[in-house]
Amino acid sequence: MSALIDRHQYIIDRIKTEGSVNVLDLCQALNVSSVTIRKDLKLLEEKNLLFRTHGGATVDNPYTADKPVNEKAKIKSDEKYDIGAAAARLIVPNDCILIASGTTVLSLAKNIKPEGNLTVITAALNVALELTRHTEIEIIQLGGILRKSSTSVTGTYAEKILEDFSFSKLFLGVDGIDLDFGLTTSNMMEAQLNRKMIAAAQQTIVLADSSKFGKRGFGKICGIEEIEHIITDNGISQHMVDTIKSMGIEVTIV
Which residues, including other chains, have CB under 8 Å from residue 42's CB and lie 6 or more apart? 52
pLDDT score of 226 more than 60: yes
Into how many domains does the chain fold? 2
Q: Is residue 63 part of a domain?
A: no
| Cβ pair 69, 151 in contact under 8 A | yes
| Cβ pair 174, 220 in contact under 8 A | no
Q: Given 16, 34, 58, which residue is the final one in a domain? A: 58
| Cβ pair 187, 154 in contact under 8 A | yes
State whether 141 and 160 are in the same domain: yes
Summarize pLDDT for 150-200 with one digit per residue, the tens: 789 999 999 999 998 999 999 999 999 988 889 999 889 999 999 999 999
State whether 104 and 201 are in the same domain: yes
State whether 29 and 112 are in the same domain: no
CATH number at residue 11: 1.10.10.10
State whether 140 and 233 are in the same domain: yes
* Element housing 199 (H / E): helix 188-200
Q: Report pLDDT for 218.
A: 83
CATH number at residue 147: 3.40.50.1360
The pTM of the full predicted model, rounded to 2 decimals, is: 0.75
Q: Is residue 107 part of a domain?
A: yes
Q: Which of 158, 152, 154, 64 is nearest to 101 (CA)?
A: 152
Q: Is residue 76 part of a domain?
A: yes
Model confidence band, residue 50 (pLDDT cutoffs 50, 70, 90): confident
Residue 23, sorted as left (phi over 0), alpha (psi -120 to 50) or beta, turns out to be alpha
3 state DSSP class of 234: coil
Q: Is residue 64 part of a domain?
A: no
State whether 43 and 148 are in the same domain: no
State whether 104 and 179 are in the same domain: yes
Residues of the domain holding 168: 69-253
pLDDT score of 204 more than 60: yes
State whether 40 and 163 are in the same domain: no
